Structure formats: C-alpha cells, structure tokens
A and B are shown apart, each in its own frame.
Chain A
Amino acid sequence: MKFAVVEFPGSNCDHDAYYAAKHVLGQQAEFIWHKDTDLRGADVVVLPGGFSYGDYLRTGAIARFSPIMARVREFADAGGPVIGICNGFQVLLEAGLLEGALLSNRRLKFLCQHVHVRVEQSDTPFTCGAAVGQVLKLPIAHGEGNYHADPETVAALEANRQVIFRYCAADGSASDAANPNGSLAAIAGVCNAGRNVVGLMPHPERACESVLGSTDGLVVLESVVSALAATGAA
C-alpha cells in the first residue's frame, strides 16, 4: 500500500507523515511535489501540516491552486482516501473538498500542546479501526484552528454524521475548557459526504510512538491500511 505525501512550499510535517507511514507502519510512502501532476499510483493521499505559502492571504488559500490539487480532487471524487492534517485540513477546506473554514484561535494564541479528541464516527477509512467514543490524545500546533461554518452547514454535518473528531476532556466529556481554539460544536475534524475525505487539526502522525508522548494517532493511519486491505486496493 502506498501513501502519497504532498509537499507544498512551507509544508513542515511532510516528513512526520512519511516517517509514520513508512517506518512505523511499514508501508510504502512517497513525497509528491505540489507542482507534480501525477499521484504515481498512490492508494492514500496525505496533505500534511505546515505553513504552505507562508499562510499568505489565508491558510491553505494559495496551496489549493497547486497543480497536484486537480489530481487530488479526481482521486477524492473516485472515492480514494484523502486525509488533510492541520494545514492540510485548511487546504481541503479552501479547495471545497470539505465544508467550513478555519478562523484564528479564539484567544489569538498559537497553540502547541496535547489535546483530547473523541472519535465521533467509525465509518470512515481513517477511523474504522477505532471505536465510537474512543478518546485520542493528540498534539495540536496551530494558530488558525477555530472551525467555523454557518448554522445550516453545521446542522447538515451533524445530521449526516460528518463530524468525525470533537475536542473533549481526557474522560471524553464535552466542556468549553476542553475546546482549545473555540471551534463551533468543538469540531476538530470532519469528513465529506462520501466519507473518504477527512480533515482534522490535531496531528495523528505525530502521535505514533511512545517516545512522542502518545501512540493514539496510530489508529488513524492503521485504519486506512486495514480499510484498503479490506477492499483489496493494495
């Protein structure tokens, strides 16, 4: 199974994602430059974290026009699993592959800390190995992670079970104090209507070895490996 890790100018979690896929999970992984126009047979696409184009204009706003994004869109439209982590989530929202937008954190501080998120749905390729209600301890590192959408969109996302991760306390309970950035409905990650495109602010790829303080991110990446194995895709 092959992971494509897209590199934009300013991506800085590309190596974390590559390392997790290749050296922790033992899968194939390949970097794909954003100006490339071929995903080279990848089975899963990762849009990594970072500061693509220096976050100029809006986070992810310029990267969405990179040539590779046309291929990512085709891949997603064909049902291929795509995950956007942090800046990758911002790129997917700007590209319209996911709904909503990310605003500045409510207290305007760049947040670099571990948080807890609850897995809300397990019928996506990135959460199928997790249990609904399972709490994951994952790091965040962002200045613009405050999820926003108009009330109708949020209601539709809830009704269609497209909220995949929600910030919570360590015991899984919801509270304003457990919502680090002010996200509406404590949304930390969502999926598209087809459920194959998932975006989230926390970094599962940085929580795959105990030396990093948590191995809770493994389930996200292991899920897609087993999801693809089950479909015989790779």
Chain B
Amino acid sequence: MKTRVFVTLKPSVFDPQGKTIVDALRSMGYGAVRDVRQGKYFELDVDASSADEARSVAAEVADKLLANPVIESYRVEVDGK
C-alpha cells in the first residue's frame, strides 16, 4: 500500500536551506513567496491489509527512524488520505 511520509523541521527550528531558497526566489522576482521550509518526503510501499494498518506502520518507522523528534515533525498519508 502506497504510504507517504512528510518530514518537516519544527516551526521553532531555523531552516537555513529554506531561507536560501526564499532569498533566491525573491531575487527571481517571486516576492509573493513569503517563506519556504524545506522538508523530506518518503514513499513507502507497505505490506498492509488496511489503510489504518499502513498508517500505523508508517508512523512507527517515522518515530524510530525517518524523523528526529528533537527537530522534526511528520505527517502520514495513505492513498492520498
């Protein structure tokens, strides 16, 4: 089951890469883009019999490995949900 995990830096954590990107966008004339936060995106193919089960597996691996809870938070999507 296709499961997506989005990992982002917590709002309180400075993101120098996002800052560099937004500065570049500004110099390109995209002043409408007020802020950019760079994150990570994972596509998991999970052997699961239900969306809830896939979600639970994805959350577990995100807690253990994909995200560092000190600096990051994450969101799980299963089949676009």
Contact = CB atoms under 8 A, between A and B. Distances in A.
Interface of A: 57-58, 61, 65, 93-94, 99-101, 103-108, 148-150, 182
Contact of B13 (A61, A94, A103): A103
16 contacts: A65-B65, A93-B70, A94-B68, A101-B68, A101-B70, A103-B14, A103-B71, A104-B16, A105-B16, A106-B14, A107-B16, A108-B20, A148-B13, A148-B71, A149-B70, A150-B12
Contacts of A103: 13-14, 16, 71
Nearest to A150: B12
A50 to B, nearest CB: 19
B70 A106 contact: no
Nearest to A107: B16
B14 A57 contact: no
Contacts of B66: 57
Contact of B71 (A101, A106, A182): A101
B68 A58 contact: yes
B56 interface: no
Contacts of B14: 103, 106, 182
Which 4 A-B pairs rank lowest in CB-CB distance, beginning with the nearest?
A101-B70, A101-B71, A108-B16, A104-B16
B5 to A, nearest CB: 12
Nearest to B20: A108
A61 B65 contact: yes
A189 B13 CA distance: 19
Most buried by B among A58, A100, A108: A58
Contacts of A61: 65, 68
Contacts of B70: 93, 99-101, 148-150
Contacts of A105: 16
A20 B66 CA distance: 35
B62 to A, nearest CB: 12
A106 B68 contact: no
Nearest to A108: B16
Nearest to B71: A101
Contacts of B17: 104, 108
A219 B17 CA distance: 37
A219 B71 CA distance: 33
A121 B71 CA distance: 26
B65 A57 contact: yes
A27 B38 CA distance: 46
Interface string B14-37: 101100100000000000000000
